Structure 1
């Protein structure tokens, strides 16, 4: 079974989970994956990393931050189909509704 770790600081982070949550496809009832349940220490780590990242982000000039955000938007649009299929599998939505959430 697929295990979904946390994504912190641009990389997968397993940390010290306190358990797992099952990810069920509501449309089929099948268990698609397990999602790691973060411990208090994992949350503290994520918040610490985010605080440091925000300080770095604040030093980036506005024009560069804008370019980065527009590039992110383009990446989302470029991978819209893949993302919509994940929403369908994880939330049981139909494909057109999933695409609507992305746009």
Structure 2
């Protein structure tokens, strides 16, 4: 599974390239999507290392939570059969002794 990030500028979820490098060799951002990263580069705004670290931690935590939910959902359900048959509210119909009164 790959990490999914949330753009801090436009709040969309995005999937950066593997290795955080684009095809032309430039570094991908963990803070901004590709469009916002290009806009911030045009403005001269640099990515904050502290914000990048927080974004990476949040993405890893979300991945771990998703994996935990997946393994919990795949876990077998416990056996819920009763150990004894259900008891009825009625008493016994037959007498307790094996002998009956036949006069």
- Superposed pair shares fold, TM > 0.5: no
Higher radius of gyration, 1 or 2: 2
- Greater relative contact order structure (CA < 8 Å, 6+ sep): 1
TM-score using structure 1 length: 0.28
TM-score using structure 2 length: 0.28
Give the structure with the larger helix fraction. 1
